[in-house]
Amino acid sequence: MPAQLISGTQLSQSLRADVAKRAAALAARGKQPGLAVILVGDDPASHVYVRNKVKACADVGFHSVFEKYESTLSEAELLKKIDALNRDPLIHGILVQMPLPKHIDPHKVIESIATNKDVDGYSVLSAGELLTGLPGFRPCTPYGCMKLIESTGYDLRGKHAVVVGRSNTVGKPMALLLLQANATVTICHSGTPDLAYHTRQADVIVAAVGRRNTVTADMIKPGAVVIDVGMNRDDNGKLCGDVDFANAKEVAGYITPVPGGVGPMTITMLLVNTIEAAERT
């Protein structure tokens, strides 16, 4: 039987409707949630991401500030801009779009964002909060993946989850969130000798690699939950994930499509983190 699709587009709609309701409730008390998005340089993909984030803010009734700077902006100048936003009472979340130009240290920039405005959840403190199970901002993409799994009613307790990829922004926090949900977690990476050996034992696979067809149908246990974070282009230039979707959907129990799976959830969870930041202050 073909897999059930987990639609990030649909889930996003309901989560964003809830965010909009909460934003309206705050606005009625005189506080409009505010997100600041900073873009440095001319990376075309970053422009698209930032535009989508700013539009998503408007759609749920947030105030948003979009600050765009030339790629020649110095690190010191950028840190000064962030400092001003840290002090701005109308701003509850700050996001600096990555990648930054080479002369700017991304770690320094991330650490300069006030912890209570770190809605991307990338700072060392936010990572530590996740590691130790303290409340805090969870990185938006893995947080969205968890919501997608939760939306199916699937119980992760005692299940074997295999995360393919170990980046600080996706793979590692994903593994920690799955662990927190009491799954038994395996993390695979480019040095894993036999990826298929691990994925074939998985009740849940999260693929976050950035290479299409990394996970093929023969690597999936029948009935498994497959979450595809990858964003790649096929030979025709069409967006595709890391999973061979056409064949994998015949084996998996649940699967996310690309597009329309994890992608919309990332921005949705940014909105969720921002409304929480606004509600907390």
User: Where on the chain is the footprint of ligand NAP (CB under 6 A)?
Assistant: 141, 164-167, 169-171, 188-192, 195, 208-211, 214, 229-232, 262-263, 266
* Cα 175 from Cα 156, distance rounded (Å): 12
Identity of the residue, 209 or 225, whose beta carbon is nearer to ligand NAP in the bound complex: 209
Helical segments of the chain, H only: 8-28, 44-59, 75-87, 106-112, 124-132, 140-151, 171-180, 195-199, 245-248, 262-280
Q: How far is the CB of 187 from ligand NAP (least distance, A)?
A: 9
User: What is the nearest approach in angstroms of ligand NAP to the Cβ of residue 241?
Assistant: 8
User: Least distance to ligand NAP from the beta carbon of 43, Å?
Assistant: 13
Q: Closer to ligand NAP at the Cβ: 60 or 91?
A: 60
Which residue in 81, 97, 159, 221 is the catalytic one? 97
* Smaller CB separation from ligand NAP, 29 or 102: 102
- 53 as an active site residue: the answer is yes
**Count of other CB atoms within 10 angstroms of residue 193:** 7
Best CA proximity match to 245, nearest among 216, 225, 223: 216
Nearer to ligand NAP, 73 or 169 (CB): 169
Q: Which CB, 117 or 212, lies closer to ligand NAP?
A: 212
AA letter at 95: L
Distance CA 279, CA 272 (A): 11
Joined tokens for residue 217: 């149908």
- Of 230, 182, 239, residue with least CA distance to 206: 230
CB of 71 to ligand NAP, least distance (A): 21
Note if 120 is an active site residue: yes
Nearer to ligand NAP, 85 or 139 (CB): 139
d(Cα 93, Cα 80) in Å, to the nearest integer? Answer: 16
CA angle 14/15/16 to nearest 5° reads 90
The residue from 117, 118, 120, 172 that is catalytic is 120
Closest approach of Cβ 178 to ligand NAP, in Å?
Answer: 15
Report CA Rg, the chain. Answer: 19
Phi, psi of 84 (to 5 degrees): -65, -40
Residues 6+ apart with CB under 8 A from 250: 2, 3, 217
Residues pairing with 94 in the sheet: 36
Q: How far is CA 190 from the centre of its chain?
A: 21
Q: How far apart are CB 116 and ligand NAP at their closest, in Å?
A: 24
Instruction: List the catalytic residues.
Output: 53, 97, 120
